[in-house]
Amino acid sequence: MGTNQEKQSVSKDEDARPEDQYESVLTYTGEGYNLPGGEKNEEIANEQKSEVVQAVKDFVKKEYSTDVEVHNMVGNQDGVTVFFESVGSLHFYSSAIVPIDTKNNKILKKNVWTLEGEVERSIKSALYAYMWEDDFKALDDQITEILDDHPSITGRTLASLQNVGGSGYMSPYYFVQASSTDEAIQPLYEQYLQDPDTSKETYSKLFDDSQFEPDYLLFNLNFFMKDPQDQPDKQIFNALIETVEANNELPKGRYLIDLNDNYVLIRNSESYKQNTLGQDPTKGIIKE
């Protein structure tokens, strides 16, 4: 009896979704996203925004041969995390950290850094999207059909991807993660760093399909219930899985599908909750 009452209590708390902690995915743009101990540094970064933006642009251009547009800055304990979007033939979202000397209100422009492998993997996922353009279009077309068939589900806002996404090749309905151990894409990545205007034909010649494994490319399809009152629908979830399984025109890789309720956690944009319907992350759907 005690266990049942505890479960009911958790369910009621979850249904309540306090407004100061959760926001509807339909309106969430990333406002309220925060990192521990970053309040003061965020103030400093906003006061010297042009310096922060230029420091990130210069760093990403030098290290990754990529022009970027900065969308958002979130203070952290040691500086500010800057979310940006690539500009050019490859499209991806990522982030960089600009350290700040808090005591002296100084932006440490020459000490910009990124989380290990984050930008590299983002570029690699974008390379696949660029090289397999027709296959990725098939995925986008499939998602359009899914939304037509199931009008009660939706995705994230574009603004939330821009402001707090920072996770490779993304759309409001999915994001793609490339593996750091993928040898098939490595020559293309190295070529991109040398010449970001490399043609698709050149990339195709460099790509050794025999080295590619589906686990090297993970497609996370993330849907939400459109009505704030609705719980994730098991029937729709199963239909999503069946639809993806049946479509052999999709890009090669491993697919994981999640169906959430209508809310995301404001402070970190997390969508997974106790009631989320999701596939086993060690399995999913394999497309070869």
Position 5 pLDDT exceeds 50: no
Contacts of 44 (CB under 8 A, 6+ apart): 75, 80, 100, 102, 105, 107
**Residue 224 has which token pair?**
């939400």
**Residue 26 has which token pair?**
């339909």
What pLDDT, in 10s, does the model give residues 159-186?
999 999 989 999 999 999 999 999 999 9
**DSSP conformation class of 251:** P
Q: Whole-prediction pTM value?
A: 0.92
What pLDDT, in 10s, does the model give residues 220-279?
999 999 999 999 999 999 999 999 999 999 999 999 999 999 999 999 999 999 999 999
What pLDDT, in 10s, does the model give residues 63-79?
999 999 999 999 999 99
Q: What is the DSSP string of 187-244?
A: HHHHHHHH-TT--HHHHHHH--GGG--GGGEEEEEEEEESSTTPPPPHHHHHHHHHHH
pLDDT at 15: 56
Contacts of 155 (CB under 8 A, 6+ apart): 25, 171, 172, 173, 222, 223, 224
- Residue 182's alpha-carbon distances to 120, 128, 166, 226, 255, in angstroms, are 11, 12, 21, 36, 17
**Residue 1 has which token pair?**
């009896």
Position 6 pLDDT exceeds 60: no
| Contact present, 219 and 251 (Cβ < 8 Å) | yes
Q: What is the CA radius of gyration of the chain?
A: 20
Identify which of 254, 246, 256, 247 has the alpha carbon closest to the alpha carbon of residue 276. Answer: 256
Q: For strand 253-260 and strand 217-225, is the pairing parallel, antiparallel, or unpaired? A: parallel
| Contact present, 254 and 215 (Cβ < 8 Å) | yes
Position 9 pLDDT exceeds 50: no
Q: What is the largest CA-CA distance in the chain?
A: 66
Binning pLDDT at 50, 70 and 90, where does residue 13 land? very low
